[in-house]
Structure 1
Amino acid sequence: MARLFMQVLADLGHRVDIVSTLRSYNRKGDSGHESETVAAAAIEVERLSAAWQADPATRPDLLFTYHVYHKAADYLCPALKRRFNLPYVIAEPSVAPKREHGPWAAGYRQAALAIRAADILLPITELDRVCLSAFAGADKVQVFPPFLDHEPFAAAADARGRHRDAVKRLHGLEPEKPWLLAVGMMRAGDKIASFLRLAEMLKLGMDAEWQILLVGDGPERKTAEQAFAFAGNRARFTGQLDSQDLPGLYAACDLYVWPAINEAYGMALLEAQAAGLPVLSVRTRGVPDVVRHGETGWLAMDDRPETLAAALRGILGDKELRRSMAATSIRHVAAHLSMTAARQRLSAAFAPLGLPA
């Protein structure tokens, strides 16, 4: 998503420079790590300040940061904004008041400082918009839905038959039975939790006809393989695939399935729809910002295995609904969640700053 924002900025005629590679991410809330980040950031602020003062032509017109929250606070831009009186924008900020105390307290305080200092906040989801508006003021908060370059996915959808033949040959799937797909990194935490919940759901749905391709790899792959052992050859692990192979795979399948445990919004959910693959997921967090329930996919009310299994049976039993959702998905992504839509939104968001657009 960060790279996509950079591309949109460039498309609008802005020169995009990564002025620092300082990484503030603090996965475990380690106080020593946070202290090291503070010290390194202070050095970076002085380095950049000296460079911009020595050559004012290198000074930016705007500070832009992506994904500021308690685990990854912005220690650079608030200080640089104060020194040079520069406009400051944060894309995908989020604030979790419950982190004000505890291991991430220092990161929370700095993230809060940055969020309040920013001129414009571009949260990805409606959930974050509500929280940020109460925290920093609604006037500078604008929802900026997730987006992608939809064209490779739309092209894959146009060639669905060819991609379906290729997937059948490669993975030995039976064409008369629905093909399910899930894509995700097999790592500890929420990702493997989603794979395990998916396995529980499918175990309850063994009475339905389905086959599933599980795309991804990582340190928890064996855990995932053990969880899906009950399915036999109905579940096939592909390993990690190159990004250029995914559009065709999405287009070839019949339903994307993902429980989205603690998922911010789910980029793969957006990719699936861009390729005309309807989604079965859960009505939680930012997923409803990506999937339109009943139109581009189906969102279960909760992530209990029995709830998901019941939803799966319903969708697999309604081929016409899947076809309708597939067509609507492609149109919706092209109109609202594409690079073109993102350029229009960002141009409008920048207008109050007096920047070229």
Structure 2
Amino acid sequence: MRIAMISMHTSPLQQPGSGDAGGMNVYVLATARELARRGVEVDVFTRATRPSQGHVVDVEPGLRVINVVAGPYEGLSKEELPTQLAAFAGGVLQFVRCEQIRYNLIHSHYWLSGQVGWLLRDLWHVPLVHTAHTLAAVKNSHRTPTDTQESDARRICEQQLVDNADVLVVNTPEETNDLVRHYDAEPEKVAVIAPGADVELFTPGQQRNTEQARRNLGIPMHTKVVAFVGRLQEFKGPQVLLRAVAELLRRDPARDMRVIMCGGPSGAQATVEHYTELARSLGICHRVRFLDPRPPEELVAIFQAADVVAVPSYNESFGLVAIEAQACGTPVIAARVGGLPMAVLDGETGLLVHDHEPETWADAIAELLDDDPTRIAMGVAAREHAAHFTWAQAAEKLESVYVEALEFELNVCHDRKPEGA
């Protein structure tokens, strides 16, 4: 089986937590790797953003990333990428002609890629599997007061993909409900496949791992640590955590705690300076340390160093950070939105918070930081819970979806044959 994966707006090789790179990048790379290890040949097509990338990157046997030139390498925002859909599709077609490749199926990620996949599906006469990752209607219903509303154009493009894709892959049953409620999707076209985590990489480690991680970060062992890992943008809620910590310290100025904010700015208005200034204005800048995005191999140390990981997003299709943190044996405090109630078991592996008010979040953080036995027990349960989510399992289910889509397409083509053919 040979699959064309399309991830136009962000490369799976880009560092998560920077720019537009996030959980989707992790998802695409991890599932593509596991599919390749199962014998599926996977080519991931993405837009080239610098000339030094190389046209074709061999990631590992059976997996390549194809960097397609479509528009300038730099200076093109995600909002401007629709102007390059035709150029990108043309680049994919040119590569296929030159390589004389035939793909059995297309799997597109995000609505921009879906539009390209829809065109290629009809040219190549193969099934189209689409994963939205985020939806305009859902983001608009959960956006913060300062967030820019997603455009009607995106909403229309997503509706076209819901209507025309052969299979819609989602992370949780909640996403199925979103597709049915907002886009009138046919439930039988939707396949629910939970993402995973690299549970061999993300592990609790030994006590010395935590000590080393804290020593490297300059944090004493006795200090309580709350970590935020993700893109620095309003929708991910870093401001919620900072205000909650300010509230905690207002209640108890002597509280010994630190906050780690690991991630880069995302979006035209977002800057690290904005959040450092917020911490300064709240009087907690001496308690907060901002770290650049880092690869998974280094991210493990952040999770191991933390007593609690906070995920205060306004919506998450699943919440990979929550699973990765729990795989390291660290409880998670998360917003009760999207797929996070599936990723975090409330009261067992962490806590779910019903709003984004600083006082409510301060209560939840204090509840875990001040109760060592409960927090430690949650950490053990968190590791066991995360073990149920692996990329190998996700890839196995994805391959089954591909096979079913191909069999259905074969049967449809057979039914279309004229009598006697």
Place the TM-score, normalised by the shorter chain, in its bin.
Answer: 0.7 to 0.9
What does residue range 142-157 of structure 1 map to in structure 2 within 5 Å? Answer: 142-154=191-203, 157=204
* Alpha carbons 1:146, 1:290 under 8 Å: kept: no
Which of 86, 109, 120 is the matching residue for 1:80? 120
* Structure 1 stretches lacking a partner, 5+ long: none
Aligned to 1:2: 28
Residues 1:138 and 2:184 aligned together: no
Identity percentage of aligned residues: 23
Which of 163, 180, 201 is the matching residue for 1:116? 163
SS at match of 1:256: strand
Rounded to whole Å, the distance in 2 between the matches of 1:26 and 1:75 is 18
Could you say which structure has the higher helix fraction? Answer: 1
* Alpha carbons 1:278, 1:296 under 8 Å: kept: yes
Aligned to 1:311: 364
Aligned to 1:14: 40
Which of 70, 89, 94 is the matching residue for 2:129? 89
TM-score with structure 2 setting the length: 0.71
Which of 65, 71, 76 is the matching residue for 2:108? 65
Q: By how many angstroms is 1:223 displaced?
A: 2.3
How many pairs were matched up?
A: 335
Residues 1:268 and 2:321 aligned together: yes
* Structure 2 stretches lacking a partner, 5+ long: 1-26, 48-67, 141-148, 408-421
Aligned to 2:152: 105
Rounded to whole Å, the distance in 1 between the matches of 2:163 and 2:223 is 53
Q: By how many angstroms is 1:277 displaced?
A: 0.8
Rounded to whole Å, the distance in 2 between the matches of 1:244 and 1:47 is 36
Rounded to whole Å, the distance in 1 between the matches of 2:93 and 2:132 is 26
Larger deviation, residues 252-261 vs 302-311: 252-261
Q: By how many angstroms is 1:196 displaced?
A: 1.8
- Matching residue's letter, 1:64: H
Residues 1:227 and 2:285 aligned together: no
Q: By how many angstroms is 1:319 displaced?
A: 1.6
Which of 334, 346, 357 is the matching residue for 2:398? 346
Rounded to whole Å, the distance in 2 between the matches of 1:304 and 1:281 is 13
SS at match of 2:396: helix
Aligned-pair Cα RMSD in Å: 2.9
Query: 1:19 and 1:247, CA in 2 relative to 1: closer, same or farther beyond 3 A?
Result: closer
Please give the per-residue CA displacement for 1:73-128, whole angstroms capped at 9, x wherever unaligned: 523222222233211111245544588xx973334333322232222211123332
* Alpha carbons 2:106, 2:121 under 8 Å: kept: yes
Larger deviation, residues 176-185 vs 195-204: 176-185
Could you say which structure has the higher strand fraction? Answer: 2
- Matching residue's letter, 1:213: I
- Following TM superposition, the consecutive aligned residue runs of length 4 or more in structure 1 with deviations greater than 6 angstroms are 23-26
SS at match of 1:74: helix
Query: 1:176 and 1:284, CA in 2 relative to 1: closer, same or farther beyond 3 A?
Result: same
TM-score with structure 1 setting the length: 0.82
Q: By how many angstroms is 1:38 displaced?
A: 4.6
* Alpha carbons 2:173, 2:192 under 8 Å: kept: yes
Query: 1:353 and 1:180, CA in 2 relative to 1: closer, same or farther beyond 3 A?
Result: same
Query: 1:285 and 1:10, CA in 2 relative to 1: closer, same or farther beyond 3 A?
Result: same
Rounded to whole Å, the distance in 2 between the matches of 1:217 and 1:103 is 22
- Matching residue's letter, 2:108: T
